[in-house]
Structure 1
């Protein structure tokens, strides 16, 4: 029986996947650690989020509660921040940091922050590209012996997958900027004391690292696909 070993995956993608798993584990452990550090003022994450929004001219943004663990996000289409059960009513520095991070995203949209506007503009085409990329690559490789046109189709699939890399690249500054806005707001509004803010900062830094890990996986996967198609094209 013939066994195919994908060395490109082993050498390129596997280390990035391991990094991603580590980053995910780190954000969970960091959040757990600071979820037991409570605000001395007893302010809830929802109230802190509301305060940050109001002080930055985003009073129209609604805040609602949703189920799940760390499912917090800002929905620009409905202008709503959704905070998870573990975050919404919590007074921990971890929860407050997460909630204010989402407020940071709402402020980005309100102030027409360039990267987040660009990300929103390409999200639909990126989704389409990610769905078409692998089928085109597989078809192109499968029928590459039939002619160069199939190799070109495979390259088109790789290019479409490259849209995911662009999307991840744009996501990084939006996430770091939202965290920066959150920490700055916590400092200026005196929602947390200096030592408490450090807890929020560590949680947000750990969360940001997951986006770095996601980018690394996507980039390595892109390089793998490019090399696979290139090798097939050279053979034929």
Structure 2
């Protein structure tokens, strides 16, 4: 079976990076999930305390199933923590909870990259659903549809790239708050950084996969003309 060289040299390494990043974040998170913090805060308690210390009182903190399913929803102003974070007294839980609060603080302060990311979400949703079907249809009917599909996929890449500063900034805010306001002891900051750095690598890997797939699509299908 023939496989395009661009797929082997572009997409496969990005997929391998994703596999490594996922393994790294799971291993690091689970390691420090077993280490209780000196402060005794649960993830949920830390999240609420950090929100209030930032003057934010209109964000709800809820528990959701799963592990590493934590996220902040700016539409409903809800911070959702996985059950492994919500009830845990661990360094990992407090670090992850603080990171998600970092997003709530970004939203509260109108952080530029978060605002841009939230604005383009509808376009990205359309692109994720329509890009590949348009490319397939374009191979049959019209090169215009192929190029439109690639353009929509470019929106996905843009979203992934904008996500990077959003995530890095949230982690920096989290570590600063945890360190300066005493939610973690000095010797617990390093482990918290390791958890958040491992999580950040997953976003880098996702961006790499998106970029690699776009370059692959451009190499294979870009610039097609109808006969």
* TM-score normalised to structure 1 length: 0.92
Q: 2:100 aligns with which of 90, 99, 102?
A: 102
Deviates most, 77-86 or 106-115: 77-86
- Give ranges in structure 2 of 5+ residues lacking alignment: none
Q: 2:222 aligns with which of 206, 214, 230?
A: 230
The yes-or-no answer on 1:200 pairing with 2:198 is: no
Cα distance, 1:79 vs structure 2: 1.0
Partner of 1:81, secondary structure, is strand
Q: Name the larger-Rg structure.
A: 1
2:174 corresponds to: 182
The yes-or-no answer on 1:166 pairing with 2:158 is: yes
Partner of 2:81, secondary structure, is strand
Kept in 2, the 8 Å contact 1:70–1:84? The answer is yes
Q: What's the Cα RMSD here?
A: 1.4
Cα distance in structure 2, aligned partners of 1:177 and 1:230: 35
Q: 1:137 aligns with which of 135, 138, 148?
A: 135
1:68-83 paired onto structure 2 within 5 Å: 68-83=66-81
Cα distance, 1:41 vs structure 2: 2.1
2:52 corresponds to: 54
The alignment covers a number of residue pairs equal to 227
Kept in 1, the 8 Å contact 2:143–2:225? The answer is no
2:23 corresponds to: 25
Cα distance, 1:234 vs structure 2: 7.2
Cα distance in structure 2, aligned partners of 1:57 and 1:203: 26
2:10 corresponds to: 12
* TM-score normalised to structure 2 length: 0.96
Q: Which runs of 4+ in 1 moved over 4 A?
A: none
1:111-126 paired onto structure 2 within 5 Å: 111-126=109-124
